[in-house]
Amino acid sequence: SRETGIVDAHALCLALAAEAEAAGAVVVCGRRVEALARRSFGWSLGVRSRAGGATGGARGAAAAEGASESIDAGVVVDAAGL
């Protein structure tokens, strides 16, 4: 709050994700990065969904538990623990 300076981290992350998505970003949550390789366009990531029905994106559908996928991205932001 403005009075205490205490930040609601969850609300802040949701607001930042919404801003990023509005600007064209794709937010992918609940994935464990297993491989990261530099490419001419940016990055190629090999990821696996986490147990417990992790979501794909800030408001995405549930991913299959343990499913692997490859994601190509111009920019990668690691926000583990947030």
Checking if the pLDDT of 65 tops 70, the result is no
Segment 31-50 shows an average pLDDT of: 92
DSSP calls for 6-73: ---HHHHHHHHHHHHHHTT-----SEEEEEEEEETTEEEEEEEEPTTT-BSSTT-PBPPTT-EEEEEE
Average of per-residue pLDDT values in the chain: 82
Q: How far apart are CA 71 and CA 44, in angstroms?
A: 6
Checking if the pLDDT of 54 tops 80, the result is no
Checking if the pLDDT of 64 tops 70, the result is no
Per the structure block, which two tokens stand in for 45? 């990531």
Which pTM does this prediction carry?
0.60
